[in-house]
């Protein structure tokens, strides 16, 4: 079983590689490690994501304008691995923008060599997923799979069968940064269904903005919460205002911790 979330409720946060710039992102990662954030989901930036709202789209556009690519993202992963005691980095790579122009073999080999704690393949059509699962397994690279709280049983079964890092349970349809707070009652059944199929952790995201939301997903049975748009928005606001991005994000992360977890930080 994956050990990415050793002390529930775990916390994963999302940022794009290259936004904030890598010198700042290095400081942010150090802060996340000090605050014992479990996972940084690091997006290899790509344009025009249909699943992302304007906050994350702006972030990806800034990173792409700065020339950020897969090589830059994986260099950051290697730096993080060498100096962080707690934080682990999962790479999110888009099929159309990052993988298809290269090859599945090249990308999986490079991500595994970086020391990433896992990989999430975004937007992969069904025909390429078996090759992805096989190559990641052969490389010893843990896989993050995804499904929705309302996904059909076959989709849930595929996610459970091939997850080796964790299952990312998306709480509702829509774009990131939109939609309601997680519904504890509505999440319990899909989380219970995953529990019957896999023993890897379940991390729930979309709509998670506050410590109360983190508590809700944990009370529904999830091992961790994933926070994306609020983190990206906080970094953006700090950059625009000329503030210390790591300090602002540190305050945000502290505020996301349920009260019973803060005393251990």
Active site residues per annotation = 41, 52
Task: Look at the block and give the residue holding tokens 């707690």.
Answer: 86
The upper half-sphere exposure of residue 170, i.e. CA atoms within 13 Å in the direction of its Cβ, equals 21
- Residue 71 contacts residue 43 (beta carbons within 8 Å): no
Tokens for 219? Answer: 């009370």
Tokens for 169? Answer: 């349970």
CA distances to 3, 48, 172 from 161, rounded to whole Å, are 18, 30, 21
Please give the Cα distance from 160 to 201 (Å, whole number). Answer: 10
Exposed / middle / buried, residue 219 (Cβ in 10 Å: 0-12, 13-18, 19+): middle
Q: Measured at the alpha carbon of residue 65, what is the angle toward residues 22 and 250, in degrees to the nearest 5? A: 35
- Residue 184 contacts residue 208 (beta carbons within 8 Å): no
Burial 95-119 (b: 16+ CB within 10 A, else e): bebbbeeeebeebbebbbebebbbb
- Residue 254 contacts residue 248 (beta carbons within 8 Å): no
Please give the Cα distance from 176 to 197 (Å, whole number). Answer: 27
Please give the Cα distance from 262 to 201 (Å, whole number). Answer: 22
């Amino acid at each position: 079983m994956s050990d990415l979330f050793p002390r529930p409720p775990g916390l994963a946060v999302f940022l794009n590689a290259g936004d904030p710039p890598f010198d700042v992102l290095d400081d942010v990662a150090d802060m996340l490690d000090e605050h014992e954030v479990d996972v940084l989901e690091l997006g290899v930036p790509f344009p025009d994501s249909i699943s992302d709202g304007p906050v994350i789209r702006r972030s990806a556009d800034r990173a792409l304008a700065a020339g950020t690519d897969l090589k830059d993202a994986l260099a950051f992963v290697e730096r993080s691995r060498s100096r962080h005691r707690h934080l682990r980095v999962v790479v999110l790579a888009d099929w159309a923008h990052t993988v298809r122009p290269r090859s599945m073999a090249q990308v999986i080999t490079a991500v595994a060599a970086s020391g990433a704690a896992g990989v999430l393949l975004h937007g992969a059509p069904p025909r390429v997923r078996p090759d992805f699962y096989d190559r990641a397994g052969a490389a010893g690279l843990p896989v993050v799979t995804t499904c929705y709280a309302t996904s059909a049983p076959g989709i849930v079964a595929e996610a459970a069968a091939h997850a080796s890092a964790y299952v990312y349970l998306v709480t509702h349809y829509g774009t990131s940064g939109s939609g309601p707070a997680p519904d504890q009652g509505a999440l319990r059944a899909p989380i219970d269904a995953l529990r019957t199929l896999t023993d890897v952790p379940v991390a729930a995201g979309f709509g998670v903005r506050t410590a109360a939301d983190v508590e809700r997903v944990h009370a529904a049975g999830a091992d961790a919460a994933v926070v994306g748009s609020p983190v990206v928005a906080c970094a953006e606001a700090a950059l625009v205002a000329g503030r210390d991005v790591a300090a602002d994000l540190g305050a945000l992360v502290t505020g996301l911790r349920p009260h019973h977890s803060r005393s251990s930080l």
